[in-house]
Structure 1
């Protein structure tokens, strides 16, 4: 692979893999302090493509807001990915941990709003050549005490956002 430079993580070393990444100690424009940042590419990825993809991250506030709108819209459907993610955190882990994760005294007070307020950006991935998964923002419940579950907002090449639950 040719040598590429990320404006966020500096010189990229893909080694034998098609993914390079590093922690972002300062985050991107105030979001995701300590988040992981991954770049997916292969020998065809050019500096120009990488620069263009990273330029999309200039307005992280808008991207995070768009992700939260997509998650909020899904909460009205109990079978949606976001609802399943929420229910996992309310039903599949001990109540004491739920209360700690959401900073509440009882699970019953974890409304949709409380749930959304506790989503924290913990990872960013870009794949300039992809059609289905060009940009992904990984969210966890509380960056300082996350479970191993992620709620991921994924943008395709058309700008459509979908939610995914990953662990």
Structure 2
């Protein structure tokens, strides 16, 4: 029953904050639970991230296939300093995502804090929840920095 209550609270928070993503996700999971399709929850948990990343990547690649970004634009971008910085940013982001995945495997209960932080970011700062892996990666980085500081102090 706790899970259903949490989903209802998330639906309310999503509605108040006008976050259709949180509202829709919580509604769909609540429906899965209420119509006794619980057996699909592990699959949703395991494959949901992959599907989300698939659709996110497809959305990012649409300008290429639609012709809005031409080959000459790609070369102009990757040979400019902002393009090179973007390449570095993409590489760093994937490393952070890998660290986030490691953190979630080692400490899965941290997802509670990530979800709460995402809700706070969406509700109060108009953020967009695109990545629990990135959030976990940033959490891992912050935890590592705090550990290094504490080790130097102690």
Q: Say which structure is richer in helix.
A: 2
Task: Give the TM-score normalised by the residue count of structure 1.
Answer: 0.28
Radius of gyration: which is bigger? 2
Q: Say which structure is richer in strand.
A: 1
Task: Give the TM-score normalised by the residue count of structure 2.
Answer: 0.29
